[in-house]
Amino acid sequence: MAETPLFKVTIDNITIEVPAGTTILNAARQIGGDVTPPAMCYYSKLKNSGGKCRTCLVEVAAGSTADPRPMPKLVASCRTNVMDGMIVKNITSERVQDARAGVVEFLLINHPLDCPVCDQAGECHLQDLSYEHGAEGTRFEFSKRIFKKHDLGPYIQLHMTRCILCYRCVFVADQLTNKRVHGVLDRGDHAEIATHIEKALDNDFIGNVIDVCPVGALTDKTFRFKNRVWFTKPVNASCNCSKCSGKVHLWMRGDEVLRVTARKDEWGEVEDWICNECRFERKDIKDWTIEGPVKVNRHSVISQGHYVGLKKPNETFSKVMNGRNPRLLMDIHSVSEVNKPGVNLAAIKGPAHSTDFDPPKKEISNE
Amino acid sequence: MGVKLLLDKAHIEGIRYYDTYRKNGGYTSVEKALKMSPEAIVEEVKKSGLRGRGGAGFPTGMKWSFIAKPEGVPRHLVCNADESEPGTFKDRYLMEFLPHLLIEGLIVSSYALGSNATYIYIRGEYAWIPDILEQAIAEAKANGWLGKNILNSGFDCEIYVQRGAGAYICGEETALIESLEGKRGNPRIKPPFPAVKGVWERPTVVNNVETLAAVVPIMNMGGEEYAKIGVGRSTGTKLISACGNINKPGVYEIDMTISVEEFIYSEEYCGGIANGKRLKACIPGGSSVPVLPANLLLKTAKGETRYMNYESLSDGGFATGSMMGSGGFIVYDEDQCIVKNTYTLARFYRHESCGQCSPCREGTGWMEKILKKIDTGKGSHSDIDLLWDIQRKIEGNTICPLGDAAAWPVAAAIRHFRDEFEWHVNNPEECLRRNYGLAHYADERAVIA
């Protein structure tokens, strides 16, 4: 079998070799960091996804070694395959930054911005995107669009006003379940995700639409208004499930399992799809084998919370150290010129100044 | 009188029916074509310099040569009869009065492309035309021009008529293919292009009705002869559907050598502006191309006469030019309000956006709201700049050309008629009572006439 040839692609002056057939976005993800374009609709685990949100637009400064002409339009990096010798500009292109700011603005004009009451807040891709690329103000002075409410059954809550129509949930239903009952009705800016004539989404794997939803349009009804995500702590857990891999994240507060989601990778994508039973029914810690804490990016808002109800270990320092007490390694006062042990900080009124630490000078008084 | 290649027989009574059409030299191109090799036909079309008549003006022969030819995979030809561009009604005229001309062109083109199943995707609003086409197809089949082994050449071809359900977006070729397959009419993300993966993932060519009809005269007279008509890269004849404030609206066949001025004012064509009014502006190629004020319409920015062809109409780029587009020629007289008309267009594009990609879905609605605000005298000067910024961020950033089509009219209106927008802002009450009129003008003829 012939090996897939490796293509050299340069993204923001970083060159990488990737197999032919890789998209620009996936090549950029291999480099990682800032050069990775944001993706709101592309999902590497869903076929045919991507191309819709236009946040991943990049400039192709040279098409390939064979044909080094630049592409006239910005291209969707999630759906454009790399060519050998392609030169891509993402964060180094002003055109891209401008277009991306435009897309973020378009996505936000009809978004309700109800983050304070939205369950997705804290793990919302639209929040991240607007934080990175959006403007602080809005230029949209009209009333936002609203939708008729649809009930999707006992597990999944739909907030259509928050939806950005990424079509991911439609692909999940198409590719994971044997019958899709929801889809996009209508067109244009009144297009909406709905079931035709009020049906409940009750397929075994339909709960995954919650995980793929980049915004708070589809949320978990069993977790609804229970807690903010940054007050809960994710732990890796697993169980013997007959339907799915059983590998999940438990979102805990103390000993209480508030929410179960699939495990997500660094791009916010699900690693293994999980079944509805794991997601919605197994809310007892006894159902799960805890594997350990989830590594959370320290910039994430989720890392800002504290473990609540944490029990301190029974052992003390001296027990662990066989009776010895911890030794003071360094007395800061002995090495620092700034901090004088003789100065009582509590006695200083207001902020301390360098003069507070100076040796008392001769009083120069006008009196 | 200019050369007529498509509508030359349109006046004959009963030309809609097979017998009359055949008696008047119909289907001779099929007889000729089936004796040639498919490659030779593609070569002939290439020589003719025929360009797509649907709007983009892409050379048809080149498009045909791009079609992938994998072993054992059927190929398809699709006729795009989803003529939904406001101001364009040339295909309707062709299909209504000369259905056999289209069928004839389709048979030749199907043979050239190796399509055994050819589809006509017709817009749902043309409710009565599928019947005409199906009758014509039945007649052609009864006379051996369709079906198995046509004229003993070993070539089989069937033509099917598929109705749309009333969506402008289904005129975009990939949305048309999706709709033809029975799915939601969302444009596909390209690549892959239809020439590689089109209908049911098979190589497909999508052509406009007029383009396919033009294959008939090309076959009859030969590609080189056809290329002699017209000027430069604008070869052959073009159907123009003229409408708006003119004396004689209708479909005209022009040979692309006449000037815009002649087209509007001569008795042979539009017959001048109606009711003795003066020309204000014109959209020369269907609602999505930039509107031009009279001075730039009749003369290019360099002061040369503007002609009715692809190159001349787009002379000066979008800054001072426009596009041939689909040939929907919309004329505005002095009583028309550019702001109101732009608002109407923006409302149309907002309604017809498929909602797939964010700039078009959200941007078209936003532009409509701002234009409505300005039109009703509630706008401010910053709204005009905002409008410009929004159209700039839509254009080129969308999946399909609908975003561009929505952005261009707004851009052109602001570019050429900014004074009228500002007048609306400055005179919020007056703008509700009267129109801005001709204050913008520089064209002598328009003022004198």
Q: What is the CATH number of the domain that holds A52?
A: 3.10.20.740
Summarize chain A as % helix, strand, coil (round to 5): 25, 20, 55
B237: closest CA among B59, B51, B439, B36?
A: B51
Contacts of B363 in chain A (CB under 8 A): 106
What pLDDT shows up at residue B339? 94
Residues sharing a CB contact under 8 Å with residue B389, sequence separation 6 or more, in sequence order? none
Question: Is B389 buried (19+), middle (13-18) or exposed (0-12) by CB count in 10 A?
Answer: middle
Residues 40-79 (A) with a CB less than 8 A from some CB of B: 50-55, 57, 72-74, 76, 79
Contact between B397 and A99 using a beta-carbon 8 Å cutoff: yes
Contacts of A102 in chain B (CB under 8 A): 359, 392-394, 397
What pLDDT shows up at residue A151? 87
Contact between B397 and A103 using a beta-carbon 8 Å cutoff: yes
Residues sharing a CB contact under 8 Å with residue B353, sequence separation 6 or more, in sequence order? A187, A188, A189, B169, B360, B361, B364, B365, B402, B406
What pLDDT shows up at residue B449? 42
Q: Does A105 touch chain B (CB under 8 A)?
A: yes
Which residue of B lies nearest to A163 if distances are taken between CA atoms? Answer: B358
A364 lies in some domain = no
Q: Does A190 touch chain B (CB under 8 A)?
A: yes
Which residue of A lies nearest to B369 if distances are taken between CA atoms? Answer: A142
Measured between alpha carbons, how far is B260 from B304 in angstroms, rounded to an integer?
Answer: 12
Contact between A189 and B355 using a beta-carbon 8 Å cutoff: yes
- Residue A114 and residue A170 in one domain: yes
When the candidates are 3.10.20.600, 3.30.470.20, 3.40.309.10, 3.40.50.300, the CATH number that belongs to B234-333 is 3.10.20.600
Select from A186, A205, A225 the last residue of a domain: A225
> Domain range for residue A98?
6-104
Instruction: Locate B251 and state its tokens.
Output: 């479909």
What pLDDT shows up at residue A363? 57
Q: What is the ipTM of this complex?
A: 0.89
Intervals of chain B under pLDDT 50: 446-449
- Residue A120 and residue A45 in one domain: no
Using CB atoms, pick whichever of B356, B393, B396 lies closest to residue A73.
B396
Q: Does B364 touch chain A (CB under 8 A)?
A: yes
Measured between alpha carbons, how far is A149 from A178 in angstroms, rounded to an integer?
Answer: 26
Any bridge partners for residue A257, and if so which? Answer: A252
Per the CB < 8 A criterion, the answer to whether B351 and B345 are in contact is no
Which residue of B lies nearest to A98 if distances are taken between CA atoms? Answer: B393
Which residue of A lies nearest to B387 if distances are taken between CA atoms? Answer: A139
Report which residue type is found at B297: L
Q: Does B387 touch chain A (CB under 8 A)?
A: no
Question: Is A288 buried (19+), middle (13-18) or exposed (0-12) by CB count in 10 A?
Answer: buried
A345 lies in some domain = no
What pLDDT shows up at residue A146? 86
Measured at the alpha carbon of residue A226, what is the angle toward residues A220 and A227, in degrees to the nearest 5?
A: 105
Contacts of A161 in chain B (CB under 8 A): none
Closest approach of chain A CAs to the CA of B424, in angstroms?
19
Q: Does B355 touch chain A (CB under 8 A)?
A: yes
Contacts of A51 in chain B (CB under 8 A): 189, 357, 399
Using CB atoms, pick whichever of A50, A106, A187 lies closest to residue B362.
A106
What pLDDT shows up at residue B128? 93
- Residue A191 and residue A213 in one domain: yes
Report which residue type is found at B94: L
Q: Which three-class secondary structure state does DSSP give residue B78?
A: strand
- Residue A154 and residue A218 in one domain: yes
Instruction: Locate B328 and state its tokens.
Output: 């929907």
- Domain with residues B338-444, CATH architecture: Up-down Bundle (1.20)
CA torsion sign, B41 to B46 to B48 to B50?
A: positive
Q: Does A137 touch chain B (CB under 8 A)?
A: no
Domain with CATH 1.20.1440.230 in chain B: 338-444
A347 lies in some domain = no
Which residue of A lies nearest to B391 if distances are taken between CA atoms? Answer: A102
Measured between alpha carbons, how far is B375 from B413 in angstroms, rounded to an integer?
Answer: 13
Contact between A188 and B393 using a beta-carbon 8 Å cutoff: no
Contacts of B184 in chain A (CB under 8 A): 183-184
Q: Does B196 touch chain A (CB under 8 A)?
A: no
Average pLDDT of A262-277?
A: 90
Using left for φ > 0, alpha for ψ between -120 and 50, and beta otherwise, residue B236 falls in: left
Using CB atoms, pick whichever of A107, A164, A188 lies closest to residue B353.
A188
What pLDDT shows up at residue A339? 58
Token pair 């819709």 is found at A52
pLDDT of A78-121, one tens digit each?
A: 999 999 999 999 999 999 999 999 999 999 999 988 888 889 98
A246 lies in some domain = yes
Cis amide bond preceding B191, omega within 30? yes
Q: What is the CATH number of domain B18-228?
A: 3.40.50.11540
Type and span of the H or E element at A249: strand A247-253
A164: closest CA among B233, B361, B5?
A: B361
- Residue A247 and residue A335 in one domain: yes
Select from A225, A250, A266 the last residue of a domain: A225
- Residue A235 and residue A215 in one domain: no
B37: closest CA among B122, B154, B189, B161?
A: B154
Closest approach of chain A CAs to the CA of B351, in angstroms?
6
Q: Does A244 touch chain B (CB under 8 A)?
A: no
Hey, which bits of B56-186 come out as E strands?
A: 75-81, 115-122, 158-163
Per the CB < 8 A criterion, the answer to whether B294 and B279 are in contact is yes
B158-163 vs B115-122, strand pairing mode:
parallel
Q: Which three-class secondary structure state does DSSP give residue B285?
A: coil
- Residue A271 and residue A332 in one domain: yes
pLDDT > 60? residue A365: no
Average pLDDT of A39-60?
A: 92
What pLDDT shows up at residue B260? 92
Closest approach of chain B CAs to the CA of A83, in angstroms?
13
Give how many domains chain A has, as a whole number. Answer: 3
What does pLDDT average to over chain A?
85
Contacts of B398 in chain A (CB under 8 A): 54
A268: closest CA among A62, A41, A54, A51?
A: A41
- Residue A212 and residue A120 in one domain: yes
Closest approach of chain B CAs to the CA of A39, in angstroms?
13
Using CB atoms, pick whichever of A57, A73, A188 lies closest to residue B361.
A188
Contact between A54 and B358 using a beta-carbon 8 Å cutoff: yes
Enumerate helices (H) and strands (E) in chain A, giving the number of each: 9, 13
Measured between alpha carbons, how far is B400 from B394 in angstroms, rounded to an integer?
Answer: 11
Measured between alpha carbons, how far is B16 from B135 in angstroms, rounded to an integer?
Answer: 10
